[in-house]
Amino acid sequence: MASILVLGCMWGDEGKAKIVDYLALSADYVVRFQGGSNAGHTIVSGGRKYVLHTIPSGILYPKTKCLIGAGVLIEPPAVIEEIKTLEKAGISFKNRLLIDFRAGIVLPVHKQIDLEIETGRRGIKIGTTRKGIGPAYSDLSARFGIRIEDLADPINLRERIKLLYNYHRIRITKQNLEQQVEDLQKNWRYLKKYVGDVEILLNEIAAKQEKNILFEGAQGTLLDLNFGTYPFVTSSRVMTDGVGIGTGFSARRLNKVFGVYKAYTTRVGSGPFPTEILDETADYIRKTGNEYGSTTGRPRRIGWFDAVAGKFSARINALDNAVLTCLDVLTGIEKLKICRGYRYNGKIHRSPDLDNSRIILSQPVYETFEGWDTNISNCKNINKLPWNARLYIEAIEDYIQIPISLISVGKERQQTIKIKAHKR
Ligand code: GDP
Ligand code: IMO
Ligand code: MG
């Protein structure tokens, strides 16, 4: 039995789902512990593309069970639509999905507030996914939130929605209120068969020590509510410790933590991005890597690999291993750069210990590497990679001080190079 965590180490979209899907071959359970439909997790299998938002990336394996922990946000109609779309693609959900009864829900008011902030009528524009994530998590923290178990009782639900609108000082008509209660009741009738106690299940499975559990992170460490580039972050706890917070299965019990990095860096939304590039190399990477948001379709911002941020992520997540994805996307670029420090006011910072205004004014300190131009997307062995690609990988390993155990060279499951364990 093993319990493994795969989480993003940068600003999200590192290719977590591709890696979770790859590792899920030997998993009995795949578990989401934070985030909600702001996540866009892409799996390409047998030439077919699936984009998952709330459903864990183990769903493509017919025998794997998918669990959604208490820390995940559920937007009922969106989750129902996701299930129906996957069912249409031939995926069965029978006895395969369990949502913790404690999971909070996203209501229309949360999306309304998110949109109002993003369109400039209140607060700072973060460039959110507009899925209502920030407002829904804040309401849960303020103890005005509504959890999925609350959908079972329409009388209580009506009162709770009324209270919530009052709390936000937003008027709701009687008709709108009744409509929302009715819609949520309909959603509940559909979803209730999937609702139960994920905490008990996980701890029981762990006690028996027979099954493999794979935890799937959403977003990335630099979007973590406490340790990310605040306030340009998401509203959940993204790090290793989020597993315990979001499922009730303590992170102390994890056997292994894999941190996923892209071979370059991307970010969607606003906020500091020290290694961002805006030239034709960025356009080339965006085009070759199809760097457009899986949830919103927005073009992703592109940058060189940021080893300062990368090392910080490795440290706060207590990584055992790193995974490098999208190495193939860099093929054909003559010179590659890795940022090994932020220069601010004459001093070089090797950890992101600067606030946003200083990060924006800092200059990345780069080391330059020769690129390669041989197609690597069918490579199965690290020794067969071009020499310059190996030097680039080794440099990243040295900077983040974590051994890289998997390298992804394409979207498909089999386009993955496994590296034998080696001592550093
Ligand atoms: P996630 O949110 O971390 O799961 O990542 P996304 O699915 O949002 O974005 C990653 C994108 O990169 C998706 O389009 C994947 O299909 C793609 N991808 C993942 N690994 C590789 C890789 O090694 N090479 C290439 N070319 N694409 C990859
Ligand atoms: P996956 O799981 C990349 C970003 C948004 C915005 C900030 C806050 O696919 O890696 P939110 O809607 O969460 O309130 O937005 O976080 N963001 C992501 N960026 N990948 C994601 O998820 C993201 N989820 C949120 O762009 O900057
Ligand atoms: Mg994504």
Q: Give nearest CA residue, ligand 2 atom 6.
A: 128
User: Do 129 and 223 reside in the same domain of the chain?
Assistant: no
Q: 274, 308 in Cβ contact below 8 A?
A: yes
Residues 69 and 215 in one domain: yes
> Residue 205: inside a domain, yes or no?
no
Burial 191-206 (b: 16+ CB within 10 A, else e): beebbeebbebbeebb
Active site residue 41: yes
> Is 202 inside any structural domain?
no
Residue 124: what pLDDT? Answer: 86
Per-residue pLDDT of the chain (424 residues; tens, 9 = 90+): 799 999 999 999 999 999 999 999 999 999 999 999 999 999 999 889 999 999 999 999 999 999 999 999 999 999 999 999 999 999 999 999 999 999 999 999 999 999 999 998 777 899 999 999 999 999 999 999 999 999 999 999 999 999 999 999 999 999 999 999 999 999 999 999 999 999 999 999 999 988 999 999 999 999 999 999 999 999 999 999 999 999 999 999 999 999 999 999 999 999 999 999 999 999 999 999 999 988 888 899 999 999 999 999 999 999 999 999 999 999 999 999 999 999 999 999 998 888 888 888 899 999 999 999 999 999 999 999 999 999 999 999 999 999 999 999 999 999 999 997 654 4
For 143-192, give the DSSP string.
T---BGGGGG-HHHHHHHHHHHHHHTT----HHHHHHHHHHHHHHHHHHG
Residue corresponding to tokens 């979001």: 246
Ligand 1 centroid to Cα of residue 3, in Å, is 23
pLDDT score recorded for residue 151: 97
Beta-carbon contacts of 385 under 8 Å, excluding residues fewer than 6 positions away, are: 327, 376, 379, 393, 407, 417
Strands 301-303 and 265-267, sheet pairing: antiparallel
Return the residue whose CA atom lies nearest to atom 1 of ligand 1.
13
Q: Which residue has the tokens 């209580």?
A: 156
Radius of gyration of the chain (CA): 22
- What residues contact 315, with CB distance under 8 A and at least 6 apart? none
Q: Are residues 241 and 272 in the same domain?
A: no
In a domain, 201, yes or no: no
| pLDDT for 424 | 45
Same domain, 374 and 318: yes
Which residue, 251, 299, 235, is CA-closest to 36? 235
Indicate whether 203 belongs to any domain. no
What amino acid occupies position 116? E
Query: For residues 249 and 201, what is the distance between their CA atoms, to the nearest angstrom?
Result: 9
- What CATH number did the domain enclosing 86 receive? 3.40.440.10
pLDDT of residue 11: 97
How many structural domains compose the chain?
3
User: Phi/psi at 94 (nearest 5 deg)?
Assistant: -60, 120
Cβ atoms of 308 and 389 within 8 Å: the answer is no
User: Ligand 2: which residues within 6 Å by Cβ?
Assistant: 8, 11-13, 35, 38-41, 126-129, 131, 133-134, 218-220, 223, 234-235, 268-269, 294
- Residue-range definition of the domain harbouring residue 162: 104-191
pLDDT at 122: 75
* Same domain flag for 92 and 233: yes
Q: Within this chain, do residues 174 and 318 fall inside the same structural domain, yes or no? A: no
User: What is the bridge-based pairing of β-strands 347-349 and 335-344?
Assistant: antiparallel
Give the ligand 1 atom nearest the CA of 219. Answer: 2
As a residue count, the chain comes to 424
